[in-house]
Structure 1
Amino acid sequence: MDFEHIGPVQMLVVGFGPDAEYRGAILDELDDLTERGLIRVIDMQFVMKGEDGDLLALESSDLTVDEAIEFGAVIGSLIGLGQGGEEGAEAGAEAGALAAADRAFGMTAADIAAIAADLEPGTAVGMLLFEHVWAAKFKYAMRSTGGVPIAQGFLTPEALFMVGREVQAIVEAEAVIEIADAVKGAAML
């Protein structure tokens, strides 16, 4: 595994209120996406605080131990490269592989306790780190032709709604300005 064969990695954090219904739909969808080769779950955490304050914490990953070591080495190498050039890449690859081999990835008990301290009783949070496997070949094709990513991001339906509201506000402001200009022109006559 190397940099060219890893798709973009996305982190998603989802909060669940007291009325959340845990029917397995999220896990079913993740299983479907994984089975179709579209994503690979690197790390998944779920922390729930019961009404009585008791904690439930679950963790999962699609990576085997060997894959986690390889992935840790590649990610460590990239972080190290950005931090200290080639020497940093070598040190980062070693540190990433060792951390994965020691299973020192994911969340510690202290991490879970810190998150749980902010949770209200009856609420939960899910954290998902996953690779967009489908995009690895696309990334390779783009880069092998000389393409360089300039920008990327996700536009959620909520973000598009907000853009629509802003466009509407601009249109309304332009109409008011147009009317004001017309009134000003009529007043000069």
Structure 2
Amino acid sequence: MTQDLAGLEETGPIDYLVVAFPNAHFTGEAFPLLVDLVERGIIRILDLTFIQKAQDGSVSGLELSELADGGVDLTIFEGASSGLLGDDDISEAANALAPGDAAGVFVYENVWAAPFAVALRRAGGQLVASGRIPVQAVIAALDAIEPVA
């Protein structure tokens, strides 16, 4: 087993997010929270890129230095590229955007869950399904529940 593969045995779950920003409107409000999650060792950014879809449908990358709204210097994530996020992934993310929109594409390790994930793997556990329930779906489900009288 190579050293790189040995290191992967100690890795937490890896997730990705594609977050759309309609009309490329970035307030910067979430950026300090992202930096905080990384600094506290809760997550580790493996890949981070921002894209924008022009009115003609073409897609271009945005420089992290262009997203410094909110006073946070995102250039600390410059070069965050593990190779997990490829051109096909960026194209797929762009397909979800309307012209004029932008998106952040994040691949990150859930460092907080690494000890639990390692213990499961050592015990022979294998991930067979994973998913997320969007907050909007939770709200809709709760709204659909009639109050008990």
Common topology (TM > 0.5)? yes
Gap regions ≥5 residues in structure 2: 1-5, 64-77
State the structure with more CA Rg: 1
Tell me if structure 2 keeps the 8 A contact 1:42–1:61.
no
Q: Does 1:44 align with 2:48?
A: yes
Deviation at 1:146, TM superposition (A): 6.3
Aligned equivalents of 1:107, 1:146: Cα separation in 2 = 30
Q: 1:167 to 1:146 in 2, by over 3 A?
A: farther
Identity rate of aligned residues, in percent?
35
Q: Aligned-pair distance for 1:117?
A: 7.1
2-side partners of 1:143 and 1:116: how far apart? 34
2:117 to 139, 147, 150: 139
The count of aligned residue pairs is 130
Structure 1 counterpart of 2:134, one-letter code: T
Counterparts of 1:57 and 1:11 in 2: how far apart (Å)? 18
CA separation in 2, counterparts of 1:52 and 1:127? 21
1:128 aligned onto 2:132:
no
Tell me how far 1:129 sits from its aligned partner.
1.2
Distance 1:133 1:116, change over 3 A: closer
- Contact 2:46–2:108 at 8 Å: present in 1 too? yes
Match of 1:155 in 2: 133
For 2:67, the equivalent position in structure 1 comes to none
Alignment of 1:1-189 (within 5 A): 1-18=6-23, 21-49=25-53, 56-58=60-62, 60=78, 62=80, 68=82, 100=83, 106-108=85-87, 119-144=97-122, 152-168=130-146
Aligned-residue offset at 1:128: 1.2
* CA distance, structure 2, for counterparts of residue 132 and residue 160 of structure 1: 22
Aligned partners of 2:18 and 2:93 also within 8 Å: no
TM-score if structure 2 supplies the norm length? 0.61
Gaps of 5+ in 1: 69-99, 173-189
Deviations 1:1-38 (A, max 9, x none): 444311111111111112x5323333322211111111
Shift of 1:164: 2.1
Is this contact kept in 1: 2:46–2:107, CA < 8 A? yes
Q: Kindly indicate which of the two structures has a greater share of residues assigned to helix.
A: 1
Q: 1:39 to 1:61 in 2, by over 3 A?
A: farther
Structure ranking higher on relative contact order (CA contacts 8 Å, 6+ apart): 2
